[in-house]
Amino acid sequence: MPKYPYFIPEANVYKPILPVILNFQKTHRITNQIPALVDSGADVCFCHEDIANWLGSMDQKTKEHKEFTTANNEKFIAYKENISILVCGKQYDCPFYISKELPRQTPIILGQLGFFDHFKVIFDLANKEIEII
């Protein structure tokens, strides 16, 4: 049962961040770990468009676009792409929604469909760690 420490990007703000490695169509790979925010309030997984471009210049014009609404009621558009993810020692194809509207501090967001449906996640803010089973 691996445990990961919470990360503090700002003073007194603890965030559950996990390192991930991504690749696309077995030809394009980012070998450095990228920080991903574990977000139980996100319905799906998201990836910033810049990262998607680094993974192989995915052609978004041929993809179906979907509108999402943030917690503060702002709307943004994203398109779906399956990207292979290596997280917590497990590698699998994950449906990501790609958007340029994601904050650069958290360019990858791990949500319900694509992450929580693969793991049991225990948030332990008192001990400032997240446990992944």
> What global pTM score does this model have?
0.88
Looking at residue 26, what is its pLDDT?
61
Cα–Cα distances in angstroms (integers) from residue 116 to residues 39, 102, 109, 113, in the given order: 9, 20, 11, 6
C-alpha torsion angle, residues 67, 71, 72, 74 (rounded to 10): -10
Q: How confident is the model at residue 42 (pLDDT cuts 50, 70, 90)?
A: very high
The pLDDT tens digits of the residues spanning 43-73 come to 999 999 988 888 875 666 677 889 999 888 9
Which two three-digit tokens encode residue 45? Answer: 């997984």
Domain locations in the chain as residue ranges: 3-132
**pLDDT at residue 30 is higher than 90:** no
Q: Is the Cβ–Cβ distance between 95 and 45 less than 8 Å?
A: yes
Closest CA to 18 of 116, 126, 98, 117: 116
Give the CATH class of 3-132.
mainly beta
Give the burial class of 20: count Cβ atoms within 10 A of its Cβ; 0-12 exposed, 13-18 middle, 19 or more buried: buried
Task: State the average pLDDT over residues 34-44.
Answer: 94
Alpha carbon distance 78, 47 (integer Å) = 9
